[in-house]
Structure 1
Amino acid sequence: MISLTSSENSTVNSTAATKRLARAIMVSAGEFSLILVCCNSVERQQQVLNLLTEFSPADIHEILLTPATDTLYTAITTAIGSTQPEALMVRGLESVVAINQLIISTNIMRDEFRKQFKFPLVLWVNDEILSKLVWLAPDFKDWAASTIRFDVVESVSSEPALCAVLGH
């Protein structure tokens, strides 16, 4: 029987997902692409970003949205000015007060993202924001390949549950 502890399994999954994210950024260098990364823990996001620097040579810029942010496009253009970073990570969507309006305006402005941004755009979302993207910005969300997930694994021992699933 193969047995992975919860933390070992989490580390393996996290490393694989981080490599996938680094590869997605590298493949999209110099052109617009939308990369959705789902993680429900802000602390875990920071761990992944730290690990990403080991796997990606790209100069990745990062912006953190504030609760008062009203449009994603404006927040990005204001933050980057006339520069075109190699990649841009956007965090903090979960903190935006008027998130529904922001997502709807993003869908309306979607063509401007592709016209103006010549770099991969990585949006960090949680499950709630991902669901809102599906419902409120389906056209924009469709530009993303499959969502890269960094699921937080509970710290309780999962071996008995794993054994029960495997029938042992």
Structure 2
Amino acid sequence: MVGLTHSQDSKVNIMVPVQRLVRAIQVSQGEFSLLLVCCHSTVKQTHILHLLKEFCPTEIKEIALPPAAETFYTTVSDLLGSARPQALIVKGLESVTAINQLIVSTNLMRDELRKRFQYPLVLWVNDEILQKLVWLAPDLKNWAACTIRFDLANEQ
């Protein structure tokens, strides 16, 4: 019985932020919005992305930044090409070698993000990247609504 309760609690704990993310993406259709999603587990990330695609009717494109990325705007623009998704999820920030440089340059180019990306932009971050955004790109961080967190407290 304890296992069942724990399992149900885990589902509730993950579905509430998934629903918040779905709502945030749908409300922002056709306009730029910056959404930060914080999760440390790649297994949980995969599960969350599956749930998101299941419950969100919006076309969501995922891209991963390569470790050698030096600028966010140019790298994402190149990876997207001519595609104009309804929402974009960017993963891999934690693997970027020159992450400080990338974050600082992104802060400087934030107006271009707003002009180019007329859809919700979801950045998948961990606490380390989130802290770097606060310190190195406070203006960009302030554009984001509150961070949607997927706690690991119930993970085993």
The 5 A counterparts of 1:71-86 are 71-86=71-86
Aligned twin of 1:125: 125
SS in structure 2 at match of 1:122:
strand
- Tell me, which stretches of 5 or more residues in structure 1 are unaligned? 157-168
Letter in 1 for 2:118: K
Letter in 2 for 1:65: L
Aligned twin of 2:151: 151
Q: How much is the aligned-residue C-alpha RMSD, in angstroms?
A: 1.4
- Tell me, which stretches of 5 or more residues in structure 2 are unaligned? none
Please say which structure displays the higher CA radius of gyration. 1
Q: Relative to structure 1, is the Cα distance of residues 134 and 7 closer, same or farther in structure 2, using a 3 angstrom cutoff?
A: farther
Q: Deviations over 1:70-117 (max 9, x none)?
A: 111111110112332100000000000110000000001001001111
Contact 2:10–2:154 (8 Å) recurs in 1: no
SS in structure 2 at match of 1:129:
helix
TM-score, normalised relative to structure 1: 0.87
Q: Deviations over 1:113-159 (max 9, x none)?
A: 01111110000000000000000000001001100001112456xxx
Aligned twin of 1:62: 62
Size of the alignment, in residue pairs? 153
Aligned twin of 2:113: 113
Contact 1:6–1:153 (8 Å) recurs in 2: no
Paired with 2:10 and 2:57, the residues of 1 have a C-alpha distance of 24
Paired with 1:7 and 1:137, the residues of 2 have a C-alpha distance of 38
Letter in 1 for 2:133: L
The 5 A counterparts of 1:1-168 are 5-155=5-155
Structure 1 segments, 4+ long, off by >2 Å, are 4-10, 153-156
Paired with 1:122 and 1:154, the residues of 2 have a C-alpha distance of 24
Aligned twin of 1:166: none
Paired with 1:7 and 1:64, the residues of 2 have a C-alpha distance of 30
Paired with 1:97 and 1:64, the residues of 2 have a C-alpha distance of 14
Contact 1:69–1:75 (8 Å) recurs in 2: yes
Q: Percent identity?
A: 61
Paired with 2:26 and 2:127, the residues of 1 have a C-alpha distance of 25
Paired with 1:66 and 1:79, the residues of 2 have a C-alpha distance of 10
Letter in 1 for 2:128: E
TM-score, normalised relative to structure 2: 0.93
Paired with 1:155 and 1:76, the residues of 2 have a C-alpha distance of 32
Contact 1:39–1:151 (8 Å) recurs in 2: yes
Letter in 1 for 2:35: I
Contact 1:10–1:153 (8 Å) recurs in 2: no
